[in-house]
Each structure stands twice: as structure tokens, then as C-alpha cells.
């Protein structure tokens, strides 16, 4: 989730390609220095056990609030409770997908992207531009920058676009269209700079992992000040970013007659391909903190063998599903991670929490 801040001069952000890596560099990863992380013991807490309900947990704040959905109803769990109870958010069906340091929540509802100022507030419908009729809000920074993806009828000419809004002091600004594609997460870098990550459309590779820099202004408005392709020469998507600028995601490549998916992390400007489990051909990173990356790993992307996975700072792969879930769970996905190492996700048995 979100970590300490780093001040970045806007002019430098626009002028320099801070995160652009070629595929040749990706073949020679450099391990980040020092540190531990990963390998700790967890207690599995089934937030919503199987039994007629469909549920998943998508994010956990540093204060321990988990957001997700049960039977198409967005809501929260308090992970500090011995047996966390699901508390629905105000509003009709949808999902709660992300939560920031101030416990502001975003997700989607019947009319598209939504924002809740807290767990008991009425939802705010985030506006859509002409030609778009639905979408989802996927991430929110502590500056109130919200990012997601929106879509509309084919007549709009743009099937899916990455979009951004700002919610501050009860006012909503935006949306600003970023690129054809989608935005998954956003973090505050300091000095009004917010960095969003996701994917943008690419004629050769379908889509490429992309970072956008947005500047929050004192009058509540915001503007886009630049964008950069994170990994050049390959199909890729970025799913999470920290307030120190570390990023995780996944790469997709055609190899020996099949698609191979590899998780990656960028720490302190160094790009690293994360190692796969034994004979696995599908790995993706969904979230990260200062020491760990969490995501999903398996042999084939469309099969039920996919399982929650964690990589530590030395890039060691740990099979969370095999270590903490019994045989009744046919698949799991680790979706969210906070600064203290709590992991949340979903799977065949519903929403779950791995508590240290």
C-alpha cells in the first residue's frame, strides 16, 4: 500500500524518463540492496467463508481496514477484530476496490465510478464524459486523486480509457482522460505530484505498462504533466505503486508456442523480473510495500491452479496458497498488501485475510 513520501520537482518529472526500461535490460535484472521481508508466518482468516455467498477482498489500509464485496454489495472489514464482520457501505450493488491513508474508499456502483469519504458516508458518483456510460474507480491517493477506467458505446470510438478525477473538500474535479487503456493505482509523491500506473494502448503490443504524473493545484483542480512507458518492447501492465515510486505488475510474452506471464517489480529505479514457481507460466504482481510483492502464480492463466503468491526483497518466491490454504481452496489471488504485511484477497472459498 502507501509508504513514506518523496519530493519530486515537477519539471524534472516532465523532462526525464524515470522509469523507461528496454526488454534487453529486463533480461539482466539487478536485485535491490539489503532488506528482508516475506517468509513470515500468517494466520488465515476467512472473511466470508463459502456457503452461498460470493465475496472478495481487494485492498487493506495501513490502519487495517479491508475493502471488498459480498454478494455484489461493497463494504469493509476491520482486520483488528478476532472475527471481522462485514459492514456494507451505503449504496446499491457494486464493489469497493481501494482505500487510502485517510480511509477514503473508491470502487463502482450501478452508475459507474464511485467515491466514499468514509465507511458510513453516502457514495459520490464520479462524472463521466460524453460518450461514456460506465466504468470503475480503482485507486485513490492521499491527495484525493482517483484513477480508473471508463467505457462507453462503440459509437464513442474509444472502448476503454484510463481516467482521473480529484475529490477534495466535497468537490469533484474531472474526469481527465489519460490514454486508451486503464489506470489501476495512484500514489502521492509529495509537492502536489501524484503518480498513476496502468496500461495504455499500443499498436504493436496491444498495451504497455504506463505511468502518468498528475499535479494537484491549490484551487482543487489538477492537471496531467507527463506520461512514460515503464517497460519498452513488450506487452505489460502495472497494477500498483507506492509513495516512494516502486511499481509492480506483469509482462506477457509469446515463448515456445505459448503465452508466458512474468511478474515484475521496479524498486529504486531498478527493474527486476520476479522468479516463477516451479514450472509456472503465469505470474503477476498486484500490490507491494517496502519489502514484499504479492500477486498470483500458476501453471496456466485460465486454469483453477492459480494461487496467492508473495515475493520478498531478495525476490524469493513463496507459495501462500500451498502454505496457508487447505485443499478445499482450488484457487486464490492475493490482491492487497499494507505496510505492516497484512495480505487480503479472494478465491474459491471467498474473501480472506492473512494476518501476521
pLDDT in tens, 297-336: 988 655 567 899 999 999 999 999 999 999 999 999 999 9
| β-bridge partners, 284 | 296
Instruction: Give yes or no for residue 101 having a pLDDT over 90.
Output: yes
Which of 12-21, 94-103, 301-310, 335-344 bottoms out in mean pLDDT, i.e. has the lowest? 12-21
Q: Give 140's pLDDT tier (boundaries 50, 70, 90).
A: very high
> Residue 202's domain is classified under what CATH number?
2.130.10.10
Please state, in angstroms and rounded to a whole number, the distance separating the CA atoms of residues 226 and 215: 10
Rg of the chain in Å (alpha carbons): 19
pLDDT at 301: 58
pLDDT at 159: 80
Residue with the bigger pLDDT between 345 and 39: it is: 345
CA distances to 120, 185, 191, 209, 248 from 337, rounded to whole Å, are 23, 13, 25, 21, 12
Instruction: Give yes or no for residue 21 having a pLDDT over 70.
Output: no
pLDDT at 279: 72
For residue 33, tell me if it sits in a domain: no
Helix (H, G, I), strand (E, B) or coil at 154: helix
Q: Which domain covers residue 293, as residue numbers? A: 10-23+40-355
As for how many domains the chain has, the answer is 1
For residue 208, tell me if it sits in a domain: yes
Residues written for the chain = 356
pLDDT at 303: 56
For residue 223, tell me if it sits in a domain: yes
- Give the whole-number percent of the chain exceeding pLDDT 90: 74
For residue 245, tell me if it sits in a domain: yes
Please state, in angstroms and rounded to a whole number, the distance separating the CA atoms of residues 169 and 304: 44
Q: Give 109's pLDDT tier (boundaries 50, 70, 90).
A: very high
Which of 4-13, 121-130, 272-281, 293-302 bottoms out in mean pLDDT, i.e. has the lowest? 4-13
Listing DSSP states for 318-334 in one string gives: EEHHHHH--TT---EEE
Contact 232, 222 (CB under 8 A): no
For residue 97, tell me if it sits in a domain: yes
For residue 210, tell me if it sits in a domain: yes
| Cell numbers linked to 274 | 520476479
Residue with the bigger pLDDT between 130 and 338: it is: 338
Instruction: Give yes or no for residue 25 having a pLDDT over 70.
Output: no
Instruction: Give yes or no for residue 102 having a pLDDT over 70.
Output: yes
Q: Which of 299, 17, 315 is nearest to 307 (CA)?
A: 299
For residue 1, tell me if it sits in a domain: no
**Which helix (H) or strand (E) segment is 26 a member of?**
helix 23-26
pLDDT at 300: 67
- Average pLDDT rounded to a whole number, residues 30-42: 46
Please state, in angstroms and rounded to a whole number, the distance separating the CA atoms of residues 305 and 239: 21
CA distances to 156, 169, 282, 322 from 326, rounded to whole Å, are 47, 46, 21, 8
Amino acid at each position: 500500500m502507501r509508504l513514506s513520501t518523496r519530493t519530486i520537482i515537477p519539471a524534472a518529472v516532465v523532462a526525464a524518463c524515470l522509469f523507461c526500461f528496454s526488454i534487453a535490460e529486463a533480461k539482466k535484472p539487478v536485485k535491490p540492496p539489503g532488506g528482508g521481508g516475506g517468509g513470515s508466518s500468517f494466520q488465515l482468516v476467512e472473511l466470508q467463508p463459502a456457503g452461498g455467498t460470493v465475496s472478495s477482498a481487494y485492498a487493506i489500509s495501513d490502519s487495517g481496514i479491508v475493502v471488498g464485496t459480498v454478494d455484489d454489495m461493497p463494504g469493509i472489514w476491520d482486520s483488528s477484530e478476532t472475527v471481522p464482520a462485514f459492514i456494507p457501505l451505503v449504496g446499491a450493488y457494486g464493489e469497493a476496490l481501494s482505500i487510502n491513508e485517510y480511509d477514503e474508499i473508491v470502487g463502482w456502483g450501478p452508475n459507474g465510478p464511485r467515491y466514499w469519504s468514509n465507511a458510513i458516508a453516502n457514495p459520490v458518483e464520479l462524472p463521466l464524459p460524453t460518450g461514456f456510460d460506465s466504468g470503475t474507480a480503482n485507486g485513490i491517493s492521499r491527495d484525493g486523486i482517483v484513477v480508473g477506467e471508463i467505457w462507453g458505446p462503440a459509437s464513442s470510438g474509444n472502448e476503454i480509457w484510463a481516467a482521473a478525477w480529484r475529490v477534495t473538500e466535497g468537490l469533484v474535479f474531472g474526469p481527465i482522460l489519460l490514454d486508451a487503456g486503464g489506470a489501476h493505482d495512484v500514489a502521492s509523491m509529495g509537492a502536489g505530484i501524484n503518480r498513476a500506473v496502468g496500461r495504455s494502448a499500443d499498436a504493436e503490443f496491444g498495451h504497455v505498462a504506463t505511468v502518468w504524473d498528475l499535479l494537484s493545484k491549490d484551487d482543487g483542480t489538477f492537471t496531467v504533466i507527463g506520461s512514460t512507458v515503464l517497460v519498452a518492447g513488450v506487452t505489460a501492465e502495472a497494477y500498483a505503486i507506492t509513495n516512494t515510486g516502486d511499481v509492480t505488475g506483469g509482462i506477457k510474452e509469446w515463448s515456445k508456442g505459448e503465452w508466458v506471464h512474468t511478474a515484475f517489480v521496479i524498486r529504486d529505479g531498478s527493474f527486476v523480473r520476479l522468479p516463477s514457481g516451479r514450472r509456472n507460466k503465469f505470474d503477476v504482481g498486484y500490490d507491494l510495500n517496502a519489502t514484499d510483492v504479492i500477486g498470483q502464480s500458476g501453471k496456466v492463466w485460465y486454469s483453477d491452479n492459480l494461487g496467492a503468491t508473495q515475493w520478498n526483497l531478495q525476490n524469493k518466491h513463496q507459495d501462500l496458497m500451498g502454505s496457508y490454504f487447505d485443499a478445499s481452496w482450488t484457487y486464490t489471488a492475493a490482491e492487497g498488501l499494507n505496510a505492516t504485511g497484512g495480505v487480503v484477497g479472494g478465491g474459491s472459498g471467498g474473501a480472506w485475510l492473512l494476518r501476521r
